[in-house]
Structure 1
Amino acid sequence: MSVLIYVELDNGSIKKTSLEAVAYGAKIAEKTGDKVAVLALGKADISELEKAGNYGAGKVLHAADDKLDQENSLAYADVLTQAAHQENSKIIILSKSGLGDAVAARAAAKLKAGIVSGVTGLPEINGSFKVPRGIFTGKAFATTEIKSDIKVLVVKKNAIEMDESSVRTVNADVETFSSVLRDSDFKATIVEVEKAASELSLTEASIIVSGGRGMKGPENWQPLLDLAKALGAATGCSKPVSDLDWRPHHEHIGQTGIKVAPDLYIACGISGAIQHLAGVNGSKCIVVINKDPEAPFFKAADYGIVGDLFEVLPKLTEAVKNLK
């Protein structure tokens, strides 16, 4: 049997969040004594797929049909189900994302599996199978027992630590996986895909610098962009900012926008409304810069700077450049 991990690809490489899912699956396999198999769909760089071995995978099943180059949750769930049957997998793992959630739900229905989303830690396997997960937009945690024979886990970013010491230098074996694709899964045609112009994806970024109405207008964004460039960070914004068209809507972070979980989140001029906090509470470290000492965001921050962000940001940028 194998613990099976579905990985998402970006320009032929496995996404960082999916590598975390591979490491998570390898930890479970250590408990169960199973092997670790990875499923990758669509066009991919074989040398990049082999790197899954560095995180504990023994082999990668690669379904390279051209039809799978475009994200299609119906077809992906079908292929994942076929791989699970081939590998006799009782535990299937995906990283939490818009695509991951959709594929997991469909695959679980096909496999008659129990599914838990928002997983935040390793399961307790001792005569039962209990897994921790985040609830109430991450403000609380619950332990859920899965009693079905097959289990699907959708893992949140940063659910498991991946320090350099845990990364091996062992390549996984890449095998061609011949899947059966159903025409009914391709009734909808993808005409065009438009990607955000930003070089860094918010969901993949380790550092995010985000701005709110405290930036006072779109013409004042340069100090924030300078800090982001110095840090090698992605940029985001609060909902009011995107609603005012100060920044593009794909940068909107929050409950109704993109939910992120970077290692470092720097909030500049954001008051900290509950909807925004719901989108960033998975961050490892939150730094808040605001001239209002009563801003709600300070209660959720690991570090806070009370001051004029137009004075603070240039000094932070200079300090970062000096450190580099």
Structure 2
Amino acid sequence: MATLIIAEHDNASIKGATLNTVTAAVAIGGDVHVLVAGEGCQAAADAAAKIAGVSKVLLADNAAYGHQLAENVSLLVAELGKSYSHILVPATTRGKNVLPRVAALLDASQISEISAVISADTFERPIYAGNAIATVQSTEDIKVITVRPTGFDAAAAEGGSAAVEAVGSVQDAGVSSFVGEELAKSDRPELAGAKIVVSGGRGMGNGENFDLLYTLADKLGAAVGASRAAVDAGFVPNDMQVGQTGKVVAPALYIAVGISGAIQHLAGMKDSKVIVAINKDEEAPIFSVADYGIVGDLFDIVPQLDKLV
């Protein structure tokens, strides 16, 4: 029994979500192999080889995988995956784009966003926006699984000494091509992996008022997030959205400012270690999951917090 992980990377380094996925694979048991598919990605493969628990790294370095187009990568994974009992990928935007295609090519059912491993064929996953946990058992020969990174501790990035093996297969579906991308650049930590997150909701009033949160976040070394209501209102871009249809985070500290706490938002942050809620409505649902709550006007409270940091 062996597990194949599709690495999340930028051709130069391995993303943190892959480390959490390695922990899930180790819990399943058997050998753990990591596929690094990209172009000019030898450095990422070398980094993957150092991850504790990884026994082999498969390097598919070709222009066809340069921008990791799902149409091409899925064909490669489906080809290689026939030799594995499990195929895992982090439940990120990229992972969710690739793995359903792999499952279809292998005629297998996908198990989405597991948060715990019970055994090699039994897993836990959240349902109903995280309000219930389902235990799922699969009898598929090849189990195709996305892993919720916040459900598993990160494997050590150093300590492993896996062999790197080149993969000669080149899969180009010929149905898509890379045109361009617009990347959001920030000096703040990446939202999904930040240890501290400060998020704002509809209560912020407008996008300009998010400057209050940016100032506080910069002092805390935190990332800034937002509720879906704030994104839908146009206060901030959608890459800042935390929630069931946004990014799932579990930082050491989550500060929710002007967020009522709709189920959709709670599903994306309630696993945070410490949650602080600031809201003028003492009946707001966010207080049901908060470790600390402050009832009051955020425009009075946030500046006071800023002075204390």
> TM-score, with normalisation over the residues of structure 1?
0.85
The CA deviation at 1:38 is 0.2
CA 206–75 in structure 1, closer or farther in 2 if over 3 Å, else same: farther
SS at match of 1:152: strand
Unmatched 5+ stretches in structure 1: none
Alignment of 1:110-125 (within 5 A): 110-125=105-120
Q: Is 1:39 aligned to 2:35, yes or no?
A: yes
Aligned partner of 2:141 in structure 1 is 149
Q: Is 1:77 aligned to 2:74, yes or no?
A: yes
CA distance in 2: counterparts of 1:188 and 1:48, whole angstroms = 24
Amino acid of the structure 2 residue aligned with 1:189: S
CA 315–60 in structure 1, closer or farther in 2 if over 3 Å, else same: farther
- Of 132, 150, 159, the residue aligned with 1:169 is 159
SS at match of 1:226: helix
Aligned partner of 1:51 in structure 2 is 47
Does the 8 Å contact 1:23/1:55 carry over to 2?
Answer: no
SS at match of 2:54: coil
Does the 8 Å contact 1:202/1:260 carry over to 2?
Answer: no
Amino acid of the structure 1 residue aligned with 2:103: A
Alignment of 1:186-197 (within 5 A): 186-197=174-185
For residues 225-274 of structure 1, the C-alpha deviation after alignment (integer angstroms, 9 at most, x for no partner) is 0121123222122233233332223323334x413223132210111223
Q: Is 1:68 aligned to 2:65, yes or no?
A: yes
CA RMSD of aligned residues (A): 2.4
CA 168–201 in structure 1, closer or farther in 2 if over 3 Å, else same: closer
Does the 8 Å contact 1:2/1:89 carry over to 2?
Answer: yes
Aligned partner of 2:10 in structure 1 is 10
Does the 8 Å contact 1:208/1:265 carry over to 2?
Answer: yes
Does the 8 Å contact 1:119/1:134 carry over to 2?
Answer: yes
Q: How many residues align?
A: 306
CA distance in 2: counterparts of 1:14 and 1:222, whole angstroms = 31
Alignment of 1:158-237 (within 5 A): 158-162=150-154, 168-182=158-172, 185-199=173-187, 200-237=189-226
Does the 8 Å contact 2:11/2:43 carry over to 1?
Answer: no
The CA deviation at 1:197 is 2.9
For residues 130-157 of structure 1, the C-alpha deviation after alignment (integer angstroms, 9 at most, x for no partner) is 1111111111011111011111121112
Does the 8 Å contact 1:259/1:278 carry over to 2?
Answer: no
For residues 16-43 of structure 1, the C-alpha deviation after alignment (integer angstroms, 9 at most, x for no partner) is 11111012212222xxxx2211001113
CA distance in 2: counterparts of 1:159 and 1:55, whole angstroms = 18
> TM-score, with normalisation over the residues of structure 2?
0.89
The CA deviation at 1:113 is 3.0
Does the 8 Å contact 2:73/2:171 carry over to 1?
Answer: no
Amino acid of the structure 2 residue aligned with 1:148: E
For residues 52-77 of structure 1, the C-alpha deviation after alignment (integer angstroms, 9 at most, x for no partner) is 33331112111111221213112111
For residues 100-152 of structure 1, the C-alpha deviation after alignment (integer angstroms, 9 at most, x for no partner) is 12322221222233421120101324xxx211111111110111110111111
- Of 125, 128, 135, the residue aligned with 1:136 is 128
Unmatched 5+ stretches in structure 2: none
CA distance in 2: counterparts of 1:23 and 1:102, whole angstroms = 22
SS at match of 1:286: strand
Amino acid of the structure 2 residue aligned with 1:6: I
Q: Is 1:305 aligned to 2:305, yes or no?
A: no
Aligned partner of 1:96 in structure 2 is 91
CA 41–48 in structure 1, closer or farther in 2 if over 3 Å, else same: closer
The CA deviation at 1:161 is 2.3
Does the 8 Å contact 1:89/1:150 carry over to 2?
Answer: yes
The CA deviation at 1:194 is 1.0
